[in-house]
Every structure is written in structure tokens, then in C-alpha cells.
Amino acid sequence: MDFRVEKIGDVAIVSLPGDVLDASNTQEFKQNIEPILESNSRVVLDMTEMRFIDSSGCGALLSCLRKLKTRGGDLRLLHVSKTVRGAFKLIRLDQILGIHDSREDALKAFKA
């Protein structure tokens, strides 16, 4: 799982590859995202291609948030599909993770 990372100021925008984050690839996601989380305290995950996420994928996102928060950082999600957003609402993950429809909104959220 190769991530494209773009830096805008002190924010890393990470484009997630693939359309699924589930038990089949969550471990690989965690291993590959770890160096990005270690070197950045403000991270935006661009989920443009993501169409499905299961409980292990949601757990992986929460793990990312927890790691960043312990160092005073934060995590934001960008371009979350209607299907994935519905899953987040069902388990109230949308109340924990900042979800944004535009890159500008995600970047502004770090300044608020």
C-alpha cells in the first residue's frame, strides 16, 4: 500500500490508495502509515477512492488519531464517500473524526 504524501505548510495530506480498508489490508495500512504519523503531527487522509471500510479499518483510523493526539497533533478526513460516511455515522465515528469536503476546509480546521 503506497501512499502519496503532499505537504502544505506543516500539514501532510495523504492520498489513500484503493477503494477498501478492511481486515485484508488494515495491517499493511498501519505499517505504511506509521512513518508518516511519526514525522507529521497534522495529517489529512484523502479518502477519495475509498468506497468501503469495515470495523478493523475504523479501528485503524482511530489508532492513527490516538497516536497523533498523544503528541498534540490531529487527524482530518477528506472526501469521504456517502457509503463510508454512512458507516461512520452508524457507529458515531463522524463525531470523533473531523470530516471535510474540501482541502481548504480541512486545512482551516487545523487553525481553528
If one counts the domains in the chain, the total is: 1
What distance in Å separates the CA atoms of residue 60 and residue 21, rounded to the nearest whole number? Answer: 9
pLDDT single digits (tens) 3-39: 999 999 999 999 999 999 999 999 999 999 999 999 9
Please check whether residue 98 lies inside any domain of the structure: yes
Residue 68, C-beta contacts closer than 8 angstroms, at least 6 positions apart = 37, 41, 42, 43, 74, 75
The pLDDT score that the predictor gives to residue 2 is 84
In the chain, where does DSSP find H-type helix?
A: 26-39, 55-70, 82-90, 103-111
Please check whether residue 81 lies inside any domain of the structure: yes
Please check whether residue 109 lies inside any domain of the structure: no
The pLDDT score that the predictor gives to residue 82 is 95
What distance in Å separates the CA atoms of residue 112 and residue 93, rounded to the nearest whole number? Answer: 20
The pLDDT score that the predictor gives to residue 5 is 96
**Structural domain harbouring 82:** 4-104
Please check whether residue 61 lies inside any domain of the structure: yes
Please check whether residue 110 lies inside any domain of the structure: no
